[in-house]
Structure 1
Amino acid sequence: MDLGPGGVGRARGRRLLQGGADVPGAGGSSALTERVRAELPPLLGEAGSAYVWLACDTATTRTLTGWLRKDLAIPKGRVNGLGY
């Protein structure tokens, strides 16, 4: 699948926000967190129907999982985070 500018694309009706080595700030950095907070909400649609899977360093995973559940009101069963 081709991802557009900034690593945003679609695959089989799913919206993807993908970052890698080009996203500065591994290790719980605010750069990755800020990017996700800026770019993800428009991709989600309704919170009750959204499903979010994320994988990044443990500190960032905890930060983003809490933000998804508390601020965006995505139900616990629709957020899957993996920290490494």
Structure 2
Amino acid sequence: MWALSYAVTAYLGWCDRLVARRPGLWIIGIVAAFVLSWVNIWLSLSVWFLGSVPVYCAERRLNKRFKAKYERYEAVRATQKLIARGERDLSK
């Protein structure tokens, strides 16, 4: 996108005779480059944001899943420790 904006500027201001006949082309080229630059920035930010949201959601799902598994693991370990010390009756 940056290359396109600079190419437009260069193309519109390339020929001295054309610019001599129409001096407004330099201004149009500069404005076009500025507009394309801002479009490029906003497109980049929106693509980054749209790409990061699904990653964030997937990461939260994984964290919840692993947290639940870890809590179950901790409960089992605590029960095993109680059984090993004889504080928990297995006949229940």
TM-score when normalising by structure 2 = 0.19
More strand by share: 1
Give me the TM-score of the superposition, normalised by structure 1: 0.21
Which structure is larger by alpha-carbon Rg, 1 or 2? 2
- Select the structure that is richer in helix: 2
